[in-house]
């Protein structure tokens, strides 16, 4: 709740975009909490933060536990933030119980997960995992032309450590589900086995500015009318490839955006997702066909990101499953509809996620909320899995049984 006060919105949410002053304030607060808990904080070239709690053997690669602190423009209090602070809560609990893990524990904050300001999403966990190169990330610009590299310098979080050089032995992420499944089935824990595939596009529709009063309808080259047909095509394609496909046009800029000028240019975004990459390819073809049918304006379609579906490491999924069973939480296995840093990290490091329900399945909305007992359950499962993976379990002197039922 203290973190939620930074860039708090009137409707109860958080609008804390990446590399803004609010992001810097959130990072500073997070780092101060981690240092209070005895962690050493290191920052890599893209501002990814690693707060390390020493283990018995610091030569062992740390177990990473984290998520992201940046939010959507009308975001909630829990998306991303829960996963970062769950990692901190685990460090505090280990401290309280004087438990020493074999491997160190790293609480991680990944830069620019949302992609709302600098596309694509999961950008810096993507560079860490070798999916994007450093210069691609540093050169990203936002809608106002501000450059990623300069904004990162400005907030003081351009570290020296090369991105990807800080090794992790495994990575775990707790997150609200951001969908209705757990709540609908009265389950507390989602044992996440992977993430669905995504394709992101930038579309530019070019027509011709004209006077709205004196220009006959025939012969107009109205870019917004053409763009509107394509928005409906995105909707129709997602419905055509039901039940697992989703398609969204979330961002649109109309130029000149004047009520008495026929719009000459429209730029908009497309977000397609499906657990099956082959279906994503057919959705791509269907979108290109819809573009080819547009004659009233010229359309430039650029696919800016293709993120294939990802499966999490069975050993990590099993650690989450075993901890869930130890606590007896009602749970289900599921594939994540939303993208997460874990979906990127999984391509380089053994990774898994744990979901907890959120009210009405709502997220990327100020009304986003979660029950404390569910958030606690997610932390308990994460703790159990982290102890297992950091091979602390089985050291009787650790007294782990008093936080993990036998």
Binding site for ligand HGY (CB under 6 A): 113-115, 121, 338-339
**Alpha carbon distance 322, 77 (integer Å):** 29
Alpha-helical (H) ranges within 97-174 are 123-128, 134-138, 148-154
- Take residue 164 and report the two structure tokens written for it: 């990807």
Chain residue at closest Cβ approach to Mn ion: 80
Q: Could you tell me the smallest distance in angstroms from the CB atom of residue 338 to Mn ion?
A: 6
**Alpha carbon distance 76, 15 (integer Å):** 8
331: left (phi over 0), alpha (psi -120 to 50) or beta: beta
**Alpha carbon distance 104, 88 (integer Å):** 13
Cβ contact 194:61 at 8 Å: no
339 binds, among ligand HGY, Mn ion, none (CB under 5 to 8 A by kind): ligand HGY
SS in 3 state form for 7-75? CECCCCCECCCCCCHHHHHHHHHHHHHHHHCCCEEEEECCCCEEEEECCCCCCCCCEEEEECCCCCCCE
80 in contact with Mn ion (CB under 5 A): yes
Instruction: Give the interface size with Mn ion as a residue count (CB under 5 A).
Output: 2
115 binds, among Mn ion, ligand HGY, none (CB under 5 to 8 A by kind): ligand HGY
Provide the CB-side half-sphere exposure for 245 (13 A, CA): 23
**Alpha carbon distance 110, 312 (integer Å):** 18
Which of 23, 79, 89, 271 is in the footprint of Mn ion by CB under 5 A? Answer: 79
- 89 vs 114 by CB, closer to ligand HGY: 114
177 binds, among ligand HGY, Mn ion, none (CB under 5 to 8 A by kind): none
Q: Could you tell me the smallest distance in angstroms from the CB atom of residue 406 to Mn ion?
A: 34
121 binds, among ligand HGY, Mn ion, none (CB under 5 to 8 A by kind): ligand HGY
- Give the range of 4-12, 74-82, 145-153, 240-248 binding Mn ion by CB under 5 A: 74-82
Q: Could you tell me the smallest distance in angstroms from the CB atom of residue 73 to ligand HGY?
A: 12
Sign of CA dihedral 353, 375, 111, 250: positive
Burial of 92 (0-12, 13-18, 19+ CB in 10 A): middle
- Give the range of 76-84, 250-258, 350-358, 371-379 binding Mn ion by CB under 5 A: 76-84
Question: Beta strands 246-248 and 265-274: pairing type?
Answer: antiparallel
Q: Is 333 helix (H, G, I), strand (E, B) or coil?
A: strand
115 in contact with Mn ion (CB under 5 A): no
131 binds, among Mn ion, ligand HGY, none (CB under 5 to 8 A by kind): none
Q: Could you tell me the smallest distance in angstroms from the CB atom of residue 402 to Mn ion?
A: 32
Cβ contact 309:276 at 8 Å: yes
- 111 vs 380 by CB, closer to ligand HGY: 111
- 54 vs 73 by CB, closer to ligand HGY: 73
**Alpha carbon distance 281, 286 (integer Å):** 9
- 53 vs 68 by CB, closer to Mn ion: 68
47 binds, among ligand HGY, Mn ion, none (CB under 5 to 8 A by kind): none
197 binds, among ligand HGY, Mn ion, none (CB under 5 to 8 A by kind): none
Q: Could you tell me the smallest distance in angstroms from the CB atom of residue 94 to ligand HGY?
A: 29
- 64 vs 115 by CB, closer to ligand HGY: 115
What are the beta bridge partners of residue 300? 204
- 68 vs 388 by CB, closer to ligand HGY: 68
Q: Could you tell me the smallest distance in angstroms from the CB atom of residue 358 to ligand HGY?
A: 13
- 338 vs 379 by CB, closer to ligand HGY: 338
The helix (run of H) or strand (run of E) holding residue 228 is helix 223-240
207 binds, among Mn ion, ligand HGY, none (CB under 5 to 8 A by kind): none
- 79 vs 222 by CB, closer to Mn ion: 79
- 192 vs 266 by CB, closer to Mn ion: 192
In the complex, which residues of this chain contact Mn ion (CB under 5 A)? Answer: 79-80
């Amino acid at each position: 709740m203290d973190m939620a006060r930074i860039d708090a919105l009137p409707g109860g949410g958080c609008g804390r975009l990446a590399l803004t002053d609010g992001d810097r304030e959130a990072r500073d607060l997070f780092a101060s909490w981690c240092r209070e808990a005895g962690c050493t904080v290191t920052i890599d070239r893209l501002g990814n933060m690693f707060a390390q709690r020493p283990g018995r053997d610091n030569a062992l690669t740390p177990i990473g536990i984290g998520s992201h602190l940046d939010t959507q423009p009308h975001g909630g209090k829990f998306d991303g933030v829960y996963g970062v602070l769950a990692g901190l809560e685990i460090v505090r609990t280990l401290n309280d119980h004087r438990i020493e893990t074999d491997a160190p524990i790293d609480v991680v904050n990944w830069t620019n997960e949302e992609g709302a300001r600098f596309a694509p999403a999961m950008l810096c966990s993507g560079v860490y995992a070798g999916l994007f190169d450093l210069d691609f990330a540093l050169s990203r610009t936002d809608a106002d032309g501000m450059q990623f590299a300069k904004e990162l310098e400005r907030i003081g979080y351009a570290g020296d450590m090369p991105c990807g050089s800080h090794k992790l032995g495994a990575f775990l992420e707790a997150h609200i589900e951001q969908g209705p499944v757990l709540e609908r089935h009265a389950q507390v824990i989602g044992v996440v086995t992977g993430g669905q595939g995504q394709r992101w596009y930038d579309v530019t529709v070019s027509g011709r500015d004209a006077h709205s009063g004196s220009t006959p309808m025939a012969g107009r080259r109205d870019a917004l009318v053409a763009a509107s047909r394509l928005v409906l095509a995105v909707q129709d394609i997602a419905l055509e490839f039901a039940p697992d496909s989703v398609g969204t046009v979330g961002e649109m800029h109309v130029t000149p955006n004047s009520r008495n000028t026929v719009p000459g240019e429209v730029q908009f975004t497309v977000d397609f997702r499906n657990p099956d990459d082959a279906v994503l390819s057919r959705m791509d073809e269907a979108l290109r066909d819809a573009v080819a049918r547009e004659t009233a304006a010229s359309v430039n379609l650029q696919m800016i990101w293709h993120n294939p579906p990802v499966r999490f490491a069975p050993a990590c999924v099993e650690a989450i499953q075993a901890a869930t069973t130890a606590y007896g939480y009602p749970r289900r296995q599921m594939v994540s509809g939303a993208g997460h840093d874990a979906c990127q990290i999984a391509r380089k490091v053994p990774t898994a996620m744990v979901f907890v329900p959120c009210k009405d399945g709502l997220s990327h909305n100020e009304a986003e909320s979660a029950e404390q007992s569910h958030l606690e359950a997610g932390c308990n499962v994460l703790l159990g899995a982290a102890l297992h993976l950091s091979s602390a379990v089985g050291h009787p002197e650790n007294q782990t049984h008093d936080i993990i039922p036998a």
